[in-house]
Amino acid sequence: MSTIGVGKEILSQCNKCKLILAHIIVTMKDATDPDKVMCKTCKGTHSYKDPSAKKKKATIEKVIKNHKVAGGKKITQSVAEIWTQALNSSQAPAVAYSIRTNYKKGDVIAHPNFGDGIVERLIDSNKIEVLFKDEYKTLLHNK
Ligand SMILES: [Zn+2]
């Protein structure tokens, strides 16, 4: 026996109330999916919005796909995980970032805005790619 149908109550996100509220199903798309629902609070009719859909999206972590590690193995890790591992394995002390310093791969820098970062790659003689806690950034150096 299906519990979903026209006239039945269902929880849906309400655009007007900005809340997940009890709605009455007005029309059905098919046997299992509501189409239009009416909010019991504001009496507005709108398309059904699955209240769990929004929640799922918010919990998806920032992930770098196919990040290459030593040996050419491809792995999936969040930037924060890579950053933590890189800083833990580095022996170099963090040095205050300066645009005039000539950096090399593996140097640890302390940036006034972005915090501690580790030099991942030399892009060219004046640009470095630095891994910070939340993201990779391109910084100038050797100016
Ligand atoms: Zn409403």
The mean per-residue pLDDT over the stretch 127-135 comes to 91
- H or E segment at 21? strand 19-25
The answer to the question of residue 58 being in a domain is no
CA 59 to ligand 1 center in whole angstroms: 25
Residues near ion ligand 1 (Cβ under 5 Å): 14, 16-17, 39, 41-42
Question: What share of the chain has pLDDT > 70, as a percent?
Answer: 82
The answer to the question of residue 4 being in a domain is no
The answer to the question of residue 102 being in a domain is yes
CA 11 to ligand 1 center in whole angstroms: 11
CA 23 to ligand 1 center in whole angstroms: 8
* Same domain, residue pair 84 and 33: no
The answer to the question of residue 55 being in a domain is no
What is the count of structural domains for the chain? 2
CA 58 to ligand 1 center in whole angstroms: 22
CA 55 to ligand 1 center in whole angstroms: 19
* Same domain, residue pair 39 and 82: no
The answer to the question of residue 64 being in a domain is no
The answer to the question of residue 71 being in a domain is no
* Same domain, residue pair 84 and 132: yes
CA 52 to ligand 1 center in whole angstroms: 17
| 12-68 pLDDT, tens digit each | 999 899 999 999 999 999 988 999 999 999 999 999 998 876 544 444 444 444 455
Full-model pTM: 0.48
What is the rounded CA–CA span in Å between residue 68 and residue 64? 10
| 72-109 pLDDT, tens digit each | 556 567 888 888 888 888 877 888 999 999 999 999 99
* Same domain, residue pair 41 and 86: no
* Same domain, residue pair 89 and 134: yes
What is the rounded CA–CA span in Å between residue 125 and residue 114? 22
* Same domain, residue pair 132 and 93: yes
CA 68 to ligand 1 center in whole angstroms: 48
Q: How many CB atoms lie within 10 A of CB 9?
A: 13
The answer to the question of residue 69 being in a domain is no
CA 88 to ligand 1 center in whole angstroms: 50
Q: 14: domain range?
A: 9-47
Structure tokens at 5: 């149908």
What is the rounded CA–CA span in Å between residue 45 and residue 100? 62
Question: What share of the chain has pLDDT > 90, as a percent?
Answer: 59
The answer to the question of residue 68 being in a domain is no
